[in-house]
Amino acid sequence: MSAFLPPQRPTSRHLPFGDRRDAPFYGKHIISVKQFSRDDLTYIFEVAHEMREMVLRVGSFDLLKGKILANLFYEPSTRTSSSFTSAMERLGGSVIPINEVRYSSVAKGESLPDTVRTLESYADVVVLRHPQKGAAALAAQYARKPIINAGDGAGEHPTQALLDLFTIREELGQVDGLTITMLGDLKYGRTVHSLARLLSLYDVRLNYVSPEILRMPPEILAELEEKGIPQAEYSTLEDVLPETDVLYVTRVQKERFEDPAAYEQVKGAYIITPKTMAQAKSRMILMHPFPRVGEISMDVDTDPRAAYFRQMEYGLYVRMALLAMVLGKA
C-alpha cells in the first residue's frame, strides 16, 4: 500500500452540522488572486458589506461558533495576523495562534506539510504566512481543510489584494475607469503583485513607479499585457501624480535583499509629504498596505485622502467574509 494518502475533500459524511456545501468557496483554498472572477469579487464584497453592518450593529455574532482557525505565521505580521484573529473571534470562533514558529516544532525541523497536517487535525481552516514563494500552494497540496495564503515570500498576498480592492470601491465608488499608480518596491512587494492581477479584471490604467532594480516582475507585466491593460513604467512620481486616482505606496522590502548595499541605495527613494499631496487630485486616495518605514510622512495622515488606516479596517470585514465563505456559512 502506498504510504501517501491523497488529500481528501469533505464529504457529506464529514460535513459539520449546518455547513452549506453549495456555498461559494466552501472548503476551497485561497492561494492566488488568479482564482477569482469578477463575479466572485462582487459576491465577496457583498458578504464583506454584510459583515461590516453586523460589526457596526452588534460587534460580534455566532456565525462561526465552534469553528477554529489556526493562524500559522513563519514571518512577522501585525495586520494580517491580528485581523484574522479579530475576524474569527467576531464571528464567534476561536484561534490557535502560532505567531512565533520558533516556539513550535518547526524549530525542531518539522516540515511545512507535517505542520499543516498537524494543525488541521485541531482546526477547521489554516491561515499561513511563509517566506517562500509557493509555500501556500505546497501546503494546500497536503491539506484537507482550507488554506488561506497570508503572504508567500515575494509571491502573492491575495487577502490583502481583496481588501485593497474593497477599499478602492468603498472610497471611490467604482474601479472601472481609474488610473492606479503603484510606487516603491514592485519587485519584492507581494501586495502589488496580487493587486495588479486582481485589477486586470477591470477597465483600469496602471502606472508603475520604482527604482530600476525594483521594477514590476516581467511575468506580471506580460500577464496584464495579454489582458489588454494599459501599463507604463516610470522612475519619478511627478510624471503621473496629476492623473492618478489611487496612489498605492509600498515599503522597500529590506528582508528580501541579498545585497544589503543594494537596499541602502534604494531605501528612501520616494517619500510622500504634504507637498507631494498638493500635486495630487482633490478626489483621489493614498493607500499603503503597511507597515510603513518612512515612505509616507506622518503629517500626511490628517489629509482626508490618506486612506491607509481605513484600508486596515476594511481588511477585517473582507477576512470575516472569507472565513465565513470557506467554512460554508456565507
List interacting residues with ligand CP (CB under 6 A).
Answer: 77-81, 151, 160, 289-291
State the nearest-atom distance from the C-beta of 78 to ligand CP, in Å.
4
Kindly state the cell numbers that stand for 225. 499585457
Minimum CB separation of residue 73 from ligand CP in Å reads 8
Closer residue to ligand CP, CB minimum distance, 81 or 115: 81
Cβ 290 to ligand CP, closest distance in Å?
5
Helices (H), 36-105: 38-58, 79-90
Cβ closest to ligand CP, residue 160 vs residue 244:
160
Q: Which is nearer to ligand CP, 151 or 155 (CB)?
A: 151
For residues 184 and 163, what is the distance between their CA atoms, to the nearest angstrom? 20
Q: How far is the CB of 13 from ligand CP (least distance, A)?
A: 37
Q: Residue 291 CB, nearest distance to ligand CP (Å)?
A: 6
Distance between CA atoms of 291 and 80, rounded to whole angstroms?
11
CB nearer to ligand CP: pick between 179 and 253: 253
Q: Closer to ligand CP at the Cβ: 7 or 291?
A: 291
In the complex, the smallest distance separating the C-beta of residue 79 from ligand CP, rounded to whole angstroms, is 4
For residue 54, give the C-alpha cell.
453586523
Judged by CB, which is closer to ligand CP: 164, or 245?
Answer: 164
Q: Which helix (H) or strand (E) holds 115?
A: helix 112-122
Q: DSSP states of 188-227 as a string?
A: T-HHHHHHHHHHTTSS-EEEEE--GGGPPPHHHHHHHHHT
Which one, 241 or 318, has the nearer CB to ligand CP?
318
In the complex, what is the shortest distance from the CB of residue 35 to ligand CP, in angstroms, rounded to a whole number?
A: 19
User: Which of 293, 191, 309, 207 lies closest to 251 in space, CA to CA?
Assistant: 293
Q: What angle do CA 101, 105, 108 make, to 5 degrees?
A: 105
Evaluate the CA torsion angle 109, 113, 118, 123 in order and state its sign: positive
Whole-angstrom distance, CA of residue 287 vs CA of residue 165: 11
Q: Is 147 helix (H, G, I), strand (E, B) or coil?
A: strand
Cβ neighbour number for residue 132 with a 10 Å cutoff: 14
